[in-house]
Amino acid sequence: MHHHQDPARDQSPTRFTILLLSLLLLATASSLVPVAIGALAGNLASSAVLLAGVFSLYHNRTLLVVGVLLLIPAMATRWVFFWLETPAMAPISLSFWLLFSAFNVGALFVYIQRRGTPTNDTIYGGICVYVLMGYCFGAGFALIETLNPGSLHFEHGAPEGLVALEVQMAYYSFVTLSTLGYGDITPLSPVAQSLAMLEAVAGPMFVAVFLARLVGVRTAKD
C-alpha cells in the first residue's frame, strides 16, 4: 500500500541531523573508554544512535514498525550485558546491534535513492548511511572476534571488554571503509578477511554511486 507523505515534512533533514549528531556522540564517547565512565558513556551513546535510527525511519510506517521490533532486543541486550556482564550475552548483543544497523543502512539507502531532486534531506541521509556503514561493519568484526578470538591481530594488544573491543573494531572499520589501511589491526581468519575485502569495496563504491547520482540529477536538470 502506498503511504502518502507530507512534502514539507519529508523535506526536513531534522531526523538525519539528529542521527548524525548521535553518531558523532558515539564517536566522542569512544575516547572515554579507558576511564571509569567509558562503558556507561558508550552504552548511552549507542542507545542514542538506536533511537535516532528509528526516528529516521518515520517516513514509512512499515519500516518504522520493523525498526522498533529490532530496536527493542538491541537496546535490551545491550543494557542487560552492561549490568550483568554475562559473557554469553556479548555475541547476542552484538548480533542485534548488527541487525539493527544493517537494516537502518539499507532503509536509508533505498530512501535517498528514491528521492528526486537532491535536497539537504538527501545529503544528510547519505552522510548518515556512510557513517552507519562504518559502525555496521565494526559490529561485524567485533562479533567475529567475540565468537572466534584471534580472528584479528592487534599490534598493541587485544582490547579487554566488549566496549573496548567495539571501539577498536569501529576504528578498524572506518580505516578500512576509507581505504586508509594503517595496518595496526590485521584480519587473520578467512571470515574476517572476507568482511574486510567487502567493506573496502563497499566504501568507495557507495561514495561513487552517491556522488554520481547527485551530479547526474543536477546535470539532467541543467
The whole-model pTM stands at 0.85
Q: Which residue has the higher pLDDT, 111 or 190?
A: 190
pLDDT grade, residue 6 (50/70/90)? very low
pLDDT score, position 10:
47
- 32 pLDDT more than 70: no
3-class DSSP assignment, residue 152? strand
Is the pLDDT confidence value at 5 over 60?
no
pLDDT above 50: residue 4: no
The CA dihedral of 16, 216, 105, 143, to the nearest 10 degrees, is -130
pLDDT grade for 212, boundaries at 50, 70 and 90: confident
C-beta atoms surrounding 113 within 10 Å: 14
* Res 180: pLDDT: 84
Residue 217: band (very low, low, confident or very high) from pLDDT cuts 50, 70, 90: low
What residues contact residue 114 under an 8 Å CB cut-off, 6+ apart? none
Looking at residue 34, its pLDDT comes to: 60
10 against 175, higher pLDDT: 175
Cα three-residue angle 10-11-16, rounded to 5 degrees? 85
pLDDT of residue 38: 66
Copy the grid coordinates of residue 91: 555475541
Mean pLDDT of 69-97: 91
**Nearest residue to 140 (alpha-carbon basis) of 196, 185, 98:** 98
d(CA 198, CA 156): 25
What mean pLDDT is reported for the chain? 84
Whether 172 and 137 have beta carbons less than 8 Å apart is answered as no
Instruction: Quickly list DSSP for 15-26.
Output: HHHHHHHHHHHH
Q: How confident is the model at residue 124 (pLDDT cuts 50, 70, 90)?
A: confident
Would you say the C-alpha torsion 109, 114, 120, 121 has a positive or negative sign?
A: negative
Structural domains in the chain? Answer: 7-221 (1.10.287.70)
Q: What is the pLDDT of residues 41-60, one digit of tens each?
A: 888 888 999 999 998 887 78
Q: Where are the alpha helices (DSSP H) in 148-189?
A: 162-177
Q: How confident is the model at residue 105 (pLDDT cuts 50, 70, 90)?
A: very high
- CB within 8 A of 115, min separation 6: which ones? 121, 122
Q: 9-23, 45-59, 69-83, 172-186: which has the minimum mean pLDDT?
A: 9-23
DSSP state of 107: H
| pLDDT for 43 | 84
Burial of residue 35 (CB within 10 Å: 0-12, 13-18, 19+) is exposed
Q: Which of 98, 56, 55, 48 is nearest to 73 (CA)?
A: 98
